[in-house]
Every structure is written in structure tokens, then in C-alpha cells.
Structure 1
């Protein structure tokens, strides 16, 4: 959101050109989620989630360092890396939630995940808005603050995922036992 503000207000790009400048994020996210959904099915959501969050944080860090002479091209690599991280994180988040609960709780899990995701986005906009909207600071510097905070959040989130997201086998022994019984038929 704040990158779009910088592209439009700071660089003077129109909405369409600003949207096109953000395409590396969307394309990388789409391609990664398409590929990772099939190739990483059955793998530990903890590792995938942690990797996705780490890549998202690194991507945000790569986008920072903007100054008055920066162009939209300054963001391409960081946007692409962030997009890969987002593409890994989305499917892994669902897998981690569903691995932690019995199948009959799937609807509740999906609802809770969606609610907390929206809450996180709302809080993120508020916190990053405070960093972005500080008087007397150039737009590029304001965006750098947001990007560094987002990078820190991604890297910290990656570490927390490694610590708190359970391994699939240990996540819910009753689900594993049901699967073992089903497999023996």
C-alpha cells in the first residue's frame, strides 16, 4: 500500500503505471503458489512457512534504501523476492492450521485463520501508517521506514514459525492415528 503511495505521489506515476511497477510481486507470488502447492504438498508447513516469511522479510529489506533519485526499477528484485515469500506462505499457513486440528474443526480453523489474517493486515496498516506519515520526512525515507519494519516483522515471524508451528506428525496424534487406520484398510 505504501509503496503504491510512493510510486504515485513520490515518483508521479499514474495508477496504471504504479500497478504495473508492482507486477513483479504479483507474478512471483502467483507462480510460486502455483508451483509450491503441488511440489511441497505433504512437506512440513513449519519449514515452508518459516522460509516464506524469511523471504518476505528479505524482499522488503531489498526494497529499502530508496532516496530522491530512486526509480520504480529500484524495487523489482525486492518485490520479486517478497512475492516468492508470499507465494510460499499462503498455502503453508493453511496447511499449518489444518495440520494442528482434527478434520471436523476445519471450518472453524479456516474462519479463525481468515479473521486473524484480516486483523493482522488492519494492525499492519495502522502501525506502518504511523511510520510512513511522519512530518518533515521525504516519501522515500518514509517508505524506507515501513520496509525496514516489514523486513523485521518477516524475519521475526520466520523465527517464531520455527519455534511455534508444530511438526505435522507431532501436531495432532489423533489425526495421525486416524490416517494410520485409514491407510491399513
Structure 2
């Protein structure tokens, strides 16, 4: 619940408030928050409180909520408008591919070979934390900086009714 609520609330708020802001900074921040949330959960065990779990889940949700709108903005800003359909298709495809490969990789890390399940979960959360933090650095390094806003002059007034 904390992850879903935080993600929903953040995406609602960030979509409007961060419109026009740097997708680079928003993506890097979202990845960093998600990675930090996973890191906070990595050491939890059966004696940990529900509050400890909720803090990490909420941070992950905030990170995911920031990244959702920013990913679309970054992808669409990278291509001319006439290629918007291709951009949306590529973004959706790679998102689904990443989720599928992530589940496969994390399931390999989770295998517990007779040990405690918490050990496998800690391996998964540690790997997810590392992926989020490394992803944050990569987003900051490789997502293009936003183009500087061009000053536009007011268009000359045209008489649309024709000569009088």
C-alpha cells in the first residue's frame, strides 16, 4: 500500500508541477529515491517493524511516481513530433522488456538453496538498490540536457478580416 499510494500521489503532483523541468534531473532523482528505498529494506528481517518496511516502500513509490511522467517527456523530447508513435512504441516495448528481464534476474538472485528466504530477498533488494543508484548516475550522465528556451517575439498583428 505505501508504494502504490506514494507512486500514485507523486505522479499526479509531479506531472503538473514539474512540467517543463529537466527530465534528466527528474529521472536521476527518481532512480536515486527508488534505489535508496530498496537499500533501506535490504537489511530487514523477521524482527523488523512494519514502519521500517513502509518507509522503504514509500521512497520507492515516490521515485517511481517521479519517473513515470519524466520518461515519456524525455523520450518525446529526443525525437521530432512526427516520430511520436515510434517513440511511444519503443518506450513501451523496452519498458516491458526491462520488467521481464528484471523478474528473471531477480528470481535467480532470490533462490535460497535451503537457506532463509530473507537472505534471498536481501540479495534482490541489494541488487535493486545498486541498479537504482547506478541508473541515477547513468541518467544524469546520458539523458540529454534540456535545450535552452528560445525567446520568441510576438507575431505581427494580422488583419484577418481583409481590407476595409
Fold conserved between structures, TM > 0.5: yes
Which of 55, 59, 80 is the equivalent residue of 2:33? 55
Instruction: After the TM superposition, list the runs of 4 or more consecutive aligned residues in structure 1 that deviate by more than 6 angstroms.
Output: none
Tell me by how many angstroms 1:159 deviates: 0.4
Q: Distance in 2 between matches of 1:94 and 1:184?
A: 30
CA deviations 1:5-35 (Å, max 9, x no partner) are xxxxxxxxxxxxxxxxxx0000000000000
Does the CA-based 8 Å contact 1:100-1:168 persist in structure 2? no
Q: Distance in 1 between matches of 2:123 and 2:83?
A: 40
Tell me by how many angstroms 1:136 deviates: 2.1
Give the TM-score of the pair, scaled to structure 1.
0.79
CA deviations 1:48-73 (Å, max 9, x no partner) are 00000000000111111122323544
Give the TM-score of the pair, scaled to structure 2.
0.88
Q: Distance in 2 between matches of 1:150 and 1:123?
A: 13
Which of 84, 87, 90 is the equivalent residue of 2:65? 87
Matched, 1:165 2:159: no
Matched, 1:39 2:13: no
CA deviations 1:46-99 (Å, max 9, x no partner) are 000000000000011111112232354431000000100000011111110011
Q: Unaligned stretches of 5+ in structure 1?
A: 1-22, 171-175
Does the CA-based 8 Å contact 2:30-2:62 persist in structure 1? yes
Q: Distance in 1 between matches of 2:100 and 2:154?
A: 46
Does the CA-based 8 Å contact 2:112-2:119 persist in structure 1? no
Q: Unaligned stretches of 5+ in structure 2?
A: 156-164
